[in-house]
Amino acid sequence: MSESSSLDHVDQSVEIAKAGEIPSHVAIIMDGNGRWAQNRDLPRIEGHRRGVSTVRMVSEVATELGIDTITLYCLSSENWKRPQAELDFLMHLLEQYLVEERKSIMDQGLRLQVIGRRDRLPEKVLSQMNQTISMSAENSGTRLVLAIDYGGRDEITSAVRTIANKVNLGELEAESIDEACVNQHLYTADFPEVDLMIRTGGDMRVSNFLLWQISYAEFWMTDKCWPEFAKQDFLSAIQDFSTRQRRFGGLEVNE
């Protein structure tokens, strides 16, 4: 297929995706950066570097399709077990992204948000993070959420702790605690629920990501590693989502 034919095919796929049901919230586990690099005899950090281009592509397609929220699993709470040199590079790459992508974020009208703990992040990363979040806060486009030092169990535990404190202080009646109450104490309180969960890299697990929020999410997995996840792959996931019958525990009328 020629380059022009390939581009025409992608453009057609965009139109097809737009014609179907578009998920409000897409969550992505960006797995396989290190393996992609190692398979090419490159340093693991090169995989992380290449993965930034995929982040840019996904945000651009999300904007084009009108997706409300994209949440990207950038660094899990368990990732601190990795070698210090790799962690240092990831922090440098994150800081660089927050600075260098500001123009793109503003041009696309993205609303940058971050979920996860912040107490273990370097001050210079936090400074750039806060600046980029602040400057994009009034944008009206896709909400681009970076999950950094994030763990689903930790998020739920933190919410339960906050709710318990409110009960102890008399600010909340125990009998009034329901799913909506728990949801309002999560990082994602004002986000739509996850409609589509994508995982790259070939593994078939959720890896402690958005455990509460993915209760009725549709899953789409690929063996492709994150640096090689292309626009057509993302569009294929969206198109596949539009064909799914989502019953939410119920039945179709004719079943």
Residues labelled as active-site residues = 31, 79
Burial 102-138 (b: 16+ CB within 10 A, else e): beebeebebbbbbbbbeeebeeebeebbeebbeebee
Q: Using alpha carbons, list the distances in angstroms from residue 136 to 61, 99, 113, 116.
A: 18, 12, 9, 19
Compute CA distances 47 → 10, 54, 93, whole Å: 25, 11, 11
Q: Which H or E run includes 53?
A: helix 44-65
| 6, amino acid identity | S
Of 135, 123, 120, 71, give the one whose Cα is nearest residue 95. 123
Minimal CA–CA distance to 188: which of 69, 63, 98?
69
Q: At what angle do helices 44-65 and 231-243 cross, to 10 degrees?
A: 50
Q: Which residue has the tokens 């929020």?
A: 213
DSSP designation for 40: T
CA-CA distance, 163 to 189, in Å (whole number)? 14
CA of residue 50 relative to chain centroid, distance:
17
